[in-house]
Amino acid sequence: MKPLLLRISLTLTWLWFGVVQAETPELAKLDRLMSQQLQVERATAALQIEAQQSLADNKRLLALYQQEHKALTNALERQQLQQSEVAEQRIALLNSQAQQEQRSEQYLQQLEQGLQLVNSLWLQLPHPLQQGLQAESQQLADLQLGLSVRYGALIAILSRLEEFNASISLHQGTIVHEAENWRAEQLFIGLAQGYYRLPDGKGVGVGYATDGLWQWHSAPQYKAQINHAFAIYQGQQSVEFISLPLAAVAEVQP
């Protein structure tokens, strides 16, 4: 019995080894396929991870590029705006300079005309007015001075002439009366007419511009009227209308 069982056991063992040996190439092939599949899956997973990382990096790079592009665009816009503002300022300065040069030319022309006017009138002005405007007259004629200084002098002269011409004023000054120098009171009615009287009131005269010069002329026949005019102006007599000789009257000799 035992020999029979041993024989059966050996037979089954031999059959099992035969089956295993018969199936070994197929199993090896299956192992290789599974190993390759596993490698493919691992490679695919690695590629997916790498692709995701690359996509994230690309997104960050794109965001940085967009920020840099926006910053560069803003910088270019600011630069263009600044250049535009600079160009506008340059144009404004050029226009202002041109206008200033034009105004300066006009001022120079007005100064030249004003200087000619003052020179033509100067010797015809009453002597107190000439003395009072001596400094302004010198400034107006001085070409070395600035435009504003000379123009200010011209305005001062014209303003003083206008003021003097619209007023009645009393002055003290030296005149020539009957070939002698006298300190006399001088009463001016505007620029064109003046009267004088000596301290004792005995010598009187009229003054006006003739032959391009301001001149005094003795007028004894108008002594009462002229003394009366001085008395009214100085408040010594009441105000009333009086007749006085005018510049249009011919020169009167004593």
Q: Note whether 219 and 253 are within 8 A (CB).
A: no
243 vs 10, higher pLDDT:
243
How far apart, in Å, are the Cα atoms of 247 and each of 2, 182, 213, 219?
Answer: 183, 22, 13, 12
pLDDT at 45: 79
How far apart, in Å, are the Cα atoms of 103 and each of 42, 99, 108, 145, 254?
Answer: 89, 6, 8, 17, 55
64 vs 116, higher pLDDT:
116
**What pLDDT digit, counting tens, does each position of 120-156 carry?**
999 999 999 999 999 999 999 999 998 889 989 999 9
How far apart, in Å, are the Cα atoms of 164 and each of 130, 135, 161, 186, 239?
Answer: 12, 17, 5, 14, 21
DSSP state of 251: P
pLDDT at 253: 42
DSSP state of 221: G
Both tokens of 161, joined, read: 């002439």
Poorest-pLDDT segment among 127-136, 170-179, 181-190, 245-254: 245-254
For residues 151 and 27, give the distance between their C-alpha atoms in angstroms, rounded to a whole number.
120
Residue 6 has pLDDT above 60, yes or no: no
Both tokens of 95, joined, read: 């226009």
**Can you spell out the DSSP letters for 122-172?**
HTTS-HHHHHHTHHHHHHHH-TTS-HHHHHHHHHHHHHHHHHHHTSEEEEE
